[in-house]
Amino acid sequence: MTTDVTTGEVTAEAGRPARHAKVVLISVIGLHLVAETALTPFLPQLFERLYGITDPGATGGYLWICRIVGLAALPLWGLAARRWPLHRLVLAGLCGSAVFDLLLGLAPSHAAYTALSGAVVATNSALLLAYPAFVAEHDGDGRPGGERDGERARLAGICSIVVVFHLSTVVATAVGAGVLALPEPRVGISAFAVLDVALAVLTFRVLGRRAAPRPAPAAVEAPRRGVRFAVLAQAALIGVAFDFSVNVARPFFTGFADGLGVGPAGSAVLFFLPSVAALAVLPVVRRCHGLLGDRLLPAALAAGAAGLAWQALSSSVAGLAGGRLLFGVGLGLAQVAVELWAFRATGTAGPAFTAVETVRSAGLLAAPLVAATAASHDLALPIAVAAAVQVFAVALSARRAGAVPVQPALTYSKEI
């Protein structure tokens, strides 16, 4: 959003491109989340139906390979973002995903499906660049009032993304269940290519017309290198623990819920129940952050850990639902707190964001392997592991590594 230099007022005409850019960027983020998670809770059933594979290790190995590809691709996209405009990289990712999604539905074997899925993950990693760009758009909306105003602006952008994350989880779960219910699931898998193409057209029409980036007002004095590294390392480790704990409980949850006799539809509802609870608690996130400040993160993680432990020990559907709701409350608050902490350390411009996100991918990489190993002993064990890791994250986040000012951003950045 720009300001008239003679009056100092923000004009509607100047604000319209920024609003359009936000819509496109949040749509890219939503598509990335849906594409990444739609089939995850149904992979064991999908592999059994398409290829006759029932070994839990096949699901764990598949997810592990996809995470390895994502871990390798993300820093490469981050480096590319330093040379080419954002919309070109997002366009390339969308076009590549459209091709591979189309081919994915035609995969003749589990090995081919895994290879094509790795290609989809590699191209989809470009869409993650829309995340800091969307937060940077909110930085541009804020008034230059120092760290406090910068954090408020980012909090608004992060809350919007968390809302989209949970809405995408609900949508993705419904889409995944719908794909599995089709007489021919391959048609539903290939249909993702249509969404890729539609969003590629919007990206070209809106982001392709944006003006060159303009630097935001200079930030306060940069912190010492040792302090900055400590804050980045702590943010990355908290992110690793949080991402791991959330994802280790996902792949085999529907199987665990089926064991309580809820059926496929009931398992799907229980799967996205935490997202419903998280959406319900998001309207009070700003108030909670105002009251607790940095203590919000350990408090939210503690609530999430309690909810996970409740689930692991549940022997009834009602108990499982209660644990899912408590976990969702902690999840909604913790997601905002974790991301706010990360952006405080990395900013929205420069290589720090992709560096921290790459380290955080380690949690996503380890989760499917640990989940498959644990599930082979007991389907409740991955949830118990998730609870233990969140307790570790509580201890890790209870003490800040050092004070660091809010990092600067670009109103619309080519470097992310």
At 325 the pLDDT is 94
Contacts 24+ apart (CB under 8 A), 85-89: 85/414, 86/129, 86/130, 86/133, 86/207, 86/412, 86/413, 86/414, 86/416, 87/203, 87/204, 87/207, 87/208, 87/210, 89/126, 89/129
The three-class DSSP label of residue 394 is helix
The pLDDT of residue 9 is above 60: no
Higher per-residue pLDDT: 210 or 177 = 177
Higher per-residue pLDDT: 169 or 275 = 275
Whether 297 and 338 have beta carbons less than 8 Å apart is answered as yes
Please compute the mean of the pLDDT values over residues 340-363 and round it to a whole number: 71
Higher per-residue pLDDT: 362 or 382 = 382
Please compute the mean of the pLDDT values over residues 11-35 and round it to a whole number: 71
pLDDT tens track for 384-408: 999 999 999 999 888 654 444 444 4
Please compute the mean of the pLDDT values over residues 62-67 and round it to a whole number: 84
Using alpha carbons, select from 287, 284, 18, 285 the residue that is nearest to residue 139: 18
Using alpha carbons, select from 118, 65, 105, 271 the residue that is nearest to residue 192: 105
pLDDT band at 96 (very low <50, low <70, confident <90, very high): very high
At 218 the pLDDT is 38
At 266 the pLDDT is 83
Whether 127 and 31 have beta carbons less than 8 Å apart is answered as yes
pLDDT tens track for 156-166: 778 888 788 77
Higher per-residue pLDDT: 272 or 308 = 308
Mean pLDDT of the chain: 78
**Can you state the percent helix, strand and coil of the chain, rounding each to 5?**
80, 0, 20
pLDDT band at 186 (very low <50, low <70, confident <90, very high): very high
Whether 163 and 331 have beta carbons less than 8 Å apart is answered as no
- Specify the length of the chain in residues: 416
Please compute the mean of the pLDDT values over residues 264-292 and round it to a whole number: 85
The pLDDT of residue 143 is above 50: no
* Cβ atoms within 10 Å, residue 76: 14
Higher per-residue pLDDT: 179 or 13 = 179
The three-class DSSP label of residue 10 is strand
pLDDT band at 287 (very low <50, low <70, confident <90, very high): confident
- Of 74-88, 177-191, 322-336, 348-362, the poorest mean pLDDT is in 348-362
The pLDDT of residue 411 is above 90: no
Q: Dihedrals φ, ψ of 3, to 5°?
A: -125, 140
CA distance between the termini of the chain: 19
At 303 the pLDDT is 94
**Which DSSP helix (H) or strand (E) runs through 31?**
helix 12-37
At 331 the pLDDT is 92
106-116 as b/e: b if 16+ CB within 10 A: ebeebeebbbb
At 140 the pLDDT is 52
Whether 208 and 96 have beta carbons less than 8 Å apart is answered as no
Please compute the mean of the pLDDT values over residues 264-290 and round it to a whole number: 85
AA identity, residue 30:
G
Please compute the mean of the pLDDT values over residues 133-150 and round it to a whole number: 57
Contacting residues for 170 by C-beta, under 8 A, at least 6 apart: 272, 275, 276
pLDDT tens track for 27-56: 888 887 888 788 887 888 899 999 998 887
In the block, residue with structure tokens 């290939």: 190
The pLDDT of residue 99 is above 90: yes
**Tokens found for residue 5:** 């230099």
At 294 the pLDDT is 79
Whether 345 and 235 have beta carbons less than 8 Å apart is answered as yes
Higher per-residue pLDDT: 48 or 344 = 48
Higher per-residue pLDDT: 122 or 134 = 122
pLDDT band at 255 (very low <50, low <70, confident <90, very high): confident
At 302 the pLDDT is 94
Question: What's the Cα-to-Cα distance from 26 to each of 121, 131, 382, rounded to whole Å?
Answer: 19, 8, 31
Question: What's the Cα-to-Cα distance from 309 to each of 239, 296, 314, rounded to whole Å?
Answer: 20, 20, 9
The pLDDT of residue 119 is above 80: yes
